[in-house]
Amino acid sequence: MSVTHTHAAAPPVPTLDVERIREDFPILAQEVNGHPLAYLDNAATSQKPTAVIDTLRHYYERDNANVHRGLHELSRRATDAYEAARATVAGWIGAPAPSELIFTRGTTEAINLVASSWGEANLAPGDEILLSELEHHSNLIPWQLVAKKTGAVLRYLSLDDDGRLILDDLPGILGGGRVRIVAIAHVSNSLGTINPVAEIARQAREAGALVAVDGAQGAAHHPVDVEKLGADFFAFSAHKMCGPTGIGALWVRGEILERMPPYQGGGEMIDLVGKHESTWAALPHKFEAGTPNIAGAIGMAAAVEYLRTIGPEAILRHEQDLVGYALDALGDSPGVRLFGPPEPSERAGVVSFRMAEAHPHDISTVLDREGIAIRAGHHCAQLVMQRFEVGATARASFYLYNTKEEVDRLVRGLDTVRSIFGGD
């Protein structure tokens, strides 16, 4: 963000009215262990606004029916709402057509779908799948599985000491001519690093490789346009972005999706069924076997509508304000080691750290007693932990409803940790 625009060219990103936003999230107005809840575990899952909760309730109270089957009024309503949700969710990531968006259980299932369906049909022995050390296990294990099945080989982009991908290695790896797909996180869940996906995709495309983006953190914490990113696949989850658990989506570029074989078989995904052969439903239904998570999809769309009223740019800026504030405060806190890029502009709302005196689990337990929820562990990113030679980190992750006052409480909580674990 080094370019200064005039107001006419680009309106300034509005500042969030966090106090008002907090009123939208009923769960935040509670005490935990005698203290106001400070929920700083948003990279694990976000909280849900009343708008989403009400949408789910309304659906189950008035419109619930199966989709694409019934000829009755409720089925029509449910089908309309489900397909409208598809268009809304597709719009959130700038997908060119709603028919290219498949509802899944979440990011994990979405990536498994890509690895199984596209991977098994397209990968041959010696073909390369390029990942990075930054990946969440959900963008790692599906590729390990398909590599074993197909004889493909996994390659990795390394991380520098600040948790950035080392892009200098990319031309060499791509230049080998064997990389068929680059699968990369948009935003790191463990370090918060925003990866230069557009640049990676540009180079991958020139080398003839496809690009699959794990957008679990990206879609929640960063404005997304799959066309600008240059992605061919984009996977994300509702629950990280104010929506329900158990629902997510996979966008696939149309011409690729049309050639992909089915992922699962069952109802919904068929056209004509015979004893030995069947034909498949049109896109995207071919990839949605069985009764889908209808309420979830509708709830996911409600989350998108909610976030849209606030604005993804404003949310990211708010998170980066909090990250900058937290990095300064934690950096001044004795014995704290910070992980990830030092510049807040290079990361979304995630701060990973360790303390000299105490293990991350102990930090988390002490903070929990003060009503502060953080995550401690390997964050499903064991390759990141191995890279930095630690078993675990403590991680505070922010969202649109978090405040600097909550960051202050986090930092003061570390004083409590020190009072217990400090000294000999």
Partner 1 sequence: MPGVPDVQLSSLYQQLILEHYKKPRNRGALEDKTVEVHMRNPACGDEIKLQMKVEDDIIRDLRFLGDGCSISQASVSMMTSMLKDRPLDDAIALARRFTEMMHGDPEAAKDRSLKDLRALQGVSKFPIRVKCALLGFDALQQAVLQSRTATGDQESAPSEGS
Residue closer to partner 1 (CB basis): 318 or 354: 354
Closest distance of CB 329 from partner 1, Å = 16
Q: What gap in Å lies between CA 414 and CA 424, rounded to an integer?
A: 17
- Length, in residues, of the chain: 424
Residue closer to partner 1 (CB basis): 305 or 370: 370
Residue 305, token pair as written in the block: 């509508």
Binds partner 1 (CB under 8 A): choice among 74, 166, 198, 420: 420
**377: helix, coil or strand?**
strand
Q: What gap in Å lies between CA 318 and CA 110, rounded to an integer?
A: 29
242 carries an active-site annotation: no
Region 385-414 residues binding partner 1, contact defined as CB under 8 A: 385, 391-392, 412
8 Å CB contact between 380 and 189 = yes
- Interface mask toward partner 1 for 340-379; x: CB under 8 A: ------------------xxxxx--xx--xx-----xxx-
User: Binding residues for partner 1, how many (CB under 8 A)?
Assistant: 23
Residue closer to partner 1 (CB basis): 239 or 418: 418
Residue closer to partner 1 (CB basis): 78 or 330: 330
The continuous run of DSSP H or E covering 296 comes out as helix 294-310
Q: Which amino acid belongs to residue 358?
A: A
Closest distance of CB 33 from partner 1, Å = 8
Burial 195-232 (b: 16+ CB within 10 A, else e): bebeebbebbeebebbbbbbbbbbbbbbbbebeebbbb
User: What DSSP character marks residue 213?
Assistant: E
Catalytic residue among 32, 37, 56, 380: 380
Closest distance of CB 409 from partner 1, Å = 9
**156 near partner 1, rule: CB under 8 A:** no
For every residue of 408-421, DSSP letters joined together read HHHHHHHHHHHHHH
- Interface mask toward partner 1 for 299-338; x: CB under 8 A: ----------------------------------------
Number of other residues whose CB lies within 10 A of the CB of residue 124: 10
Active site residues: 380
Interface contacts to partner 1, rule CB under 8 A: 358-362, 365-366, 369-370, 376-378, 382, 385, 391-392, 412, 415-416, 419-421, 424
